[in-house]
Structure 1
Amino acid sequence: MTAKRIIVGYDRSADARAAARWALDEAARTAALVEFFYAYEWPEWAPAASTIPAPAVWPDGETDRAIKGSLHEAVTAAKQTHPGVRTEISIVQASTALMLIERSADAGLIVVGSRGHSAVAGLLGSVSVAVSAHAHCPVIVVRGDAAATRPVVVGVDDSPSAHLALDFAVEQAVARGVPLRVIRAWRPVTGIWENSALVTRTVTAEERRPLDELVAGWRDKYPHLDISAEAVVDHPANALALASTTAQLLVVGTRGRGAVRGMVLGSVSQHLLHHSACTVAVVRELPGA
């Protein structure tokens, strides 16, 4: 990965602190700058009768000072734990999802915790789903506390986003010096195909040949990287969730599309954002792609 900035959504929660640690560790490997980012949408409400005093539309000075104080505390802590990593802070009064998507065009990674509390809405839920589906760089949702010796796992299929996910996963496994598990899952079939080999929960050599050829190319490029290729008959969400229990990072692509505030991720990516046992990387685009 290039040394572009890593933007971490930070709200002082335990999950945001975990996201910050992940971002700082990554920055220590890549020489990227870490930006501690806070965005909030203040309720724009005013009573219909002008004679009734209205609350402030935007946060008051005390609120702003508290937010800035928490971000500066995060920067101070980062200097102690990761003295070689460059940091900065940013605060915006706008849509969290829209701002993170916009900022992702100039970032190497967006990193958020699995839950969070902003002024109005948490960073997971509609915001994280939308950002993961529309960001111009990989989005990391930090979950669990897996050992650094565990492998990186990537789910692949025939989609372009899956190939981008594999590129990212290889890079991460090489940088971390851990094995890479490449998993291709075929959904079990029913109906007129019930007599096929898939119903016996096996994958034929012909069906898995593209996977083996794909992995062989990466083995040639990185001969010292331990790569395994696994073809299974299972729903991809279930297969990858199971693999996440012994992984440190789970990488998936996304075919998400649609309105920014909708449930726009594919069902597999969306399921894993909420149920993976380890940190999830959703790769829709790679920086500079």
Structure 2
Amino acid sequence: MAGKKRDGAVLVGVDESEASLAAVRWAAAEAALRGCRLELFQAGTAERHARERFARAHRWLSRAAQVAGEAAPGVATQPVVQAGSAVELLVGRSRSMSLVVLGSHGLGGLRGAAIGSVALRVAAGAYCPVVVVRGRAAPGGAVVVGVAGDDRAGGFAFEAAAHRRVPLIAVRAWRSDRPGRAAEEDRALRECVAAWADKYPDVAVRVRAVRERSAGRALMAVEGAQLVVIGSRGRGPVAGGPLGSTGNRLLAQAACPVAVVRGACR
């Protein structure tokens, strides 16, 4: 699957922070895996001194392009600066992207908003999957996907594991101590991932149905992961729809990048 061409580019939000450059490195590698271009995006401002601010944004995008080239030699990059709200612009551009990648800290664009807030709001409102790059992706580590009800991010997770040629760990958290519940949850989890396992026979799959009140804790308990994938029910408003306790916890505390994927497994 490596190098397969997709519709849409990978978009990475760039600001003047080291966390942003970490996101650029991750996004460049992902664009290389997908065989697509990398769009380096920064939100500008329509306020006074806009010309100087835009010039500064372009200088930072040049730095980001250099970082991308070092991380993934040969990947095609395209710098874009637009005036306006970082959240609204990123959500709007996500309509034509295959993936949006953001850092977890720093300043959002040049408008002074915390990137943590930007990342949360974009993840809640984007039209495509969003990856928030935080922690450290363990080289060769598994892709971990959370399975809960109809939140199904299996396609994205299996494809990511196939690209990277690493195992996939499917996790389902349950709370009841009713006799037989553990076996039921294990069976339900296996049934959920069966279709994707058939589609990606080269991906080694492990399932973990665990009795745990917090799905976020269950996912973070998997050590040595390089990516955690969670589903999200529907789109939140651009102003900042919540991702729920699991999404919020992972985006704030996970030890590796987190992907938020919308829509059901097909």
Please tell me whether residue 91 in structure 1 is matched to residue 84 in structure 2: no
How far 1:253 moved relative to its partner?
A: 0.8
RMSD (CA atoms): 2.1
Of 184, 197, 201, which aligns to 1:219? 197
Greater shift, 248-257 or 271-280, is seen at 248-257
1:250–1:278 Cα contact (<8 Å) kept: yes
Distance 2:22 2:224 in 1: 19
> Does the C-alpha gap of structure 1 residues 91 and 216 become closer, same or farther in structure 2, counting only changes over 3 Å?
same
> Does the C-alpha gap of structure 1 residues 222 and 76 become closer, same or farther in structure 2, counting only changes over 3 Å?
closer
Distance 2:74 2:262 in 1: 30
Of 17, 20, 25, which aligns to 1:16? 20
Distance 2:203 2:138 in 1: 19
Q: What residue number does 1:278 align with? A: 256
Give the 5 Å matches for 1:1-289.
2-40=6-44, 57-117=47-107, 118-119=109-110, 120-125=112-117, 127-159=118-150, 162-163=151-152, 165-186=153-174, 188-189=175-176, 196-197=178-179, 203-234=181-212, 235-243=214-222, 245-255=223-233, 257-285=235-263
How far 1:228 moved relative to its partner?
A: 0.7
How far 1:12 moved relative to its partner?
A: 3.2
Residue deviations 1:214-267, cap 9 Å, x none? 233333322221101111110211111222x42000000112655322352122
1:146–1:248 Cα contact (<8 Å) kept: yes
1:249–1:280 Cα contact (<8 Å) kept: yes
2:25–2:67 Cα contact (<8 Å) kept: no
Q: Please give the TM-score of this superposition, normalised by the length of structure 2.
A: 0.89
Distance 2:140 2:18 in 1: 23
Distance 2:11 2:49 in 1: 23
Aligned partner letter, 1:148:
P
Greater shift, 170-179 or 211-220, is seen at 211-220
Runs of 5+ consecutive residues of structure 1 not aligned to the other structure: 43-56, 190-194
Distance 2:178 2:189 in 1: 20
> Does the C-alpha gap of structure 1 residues 262 and 61 become closer, same or farther in structure 2, counting only changes over 3 Å?
closer
Q: From the CA coordinates, give the structure whose radius of gyration is larger.
A: 1
2:65–2:77 Cα contact (<8 Å) kept: yes
Runs of 5+ consecutive residues of structure 2 not aligned to the other structure: none
Percent of matched pairs sharing the same residue: 40
Distance 2:136 2:68 in 1: 19
1:272–1:280 Cα contact (<8 Å) kept: yes
Distance 1:168 1:156 in 2: 12
Distance 2:54 2:247 in 1: 35
Greater shift, 253-262 or 222-231, is seen at 253-262
How far 1:68 moved relative to its partner?
A: 0.9
Aligned partner letter, 2:258:
V
Distance 1:185 1:4 in 2: 34
1:116–1:122 Cα contact (<8 Å) kept: yes
> Does the C-alpha gap of structure 1 residues 282 and 255 become closer, same or farther in structure 2, counting only changes over 3 Å?
same
Distance 2:77 2:256 in 1: 25
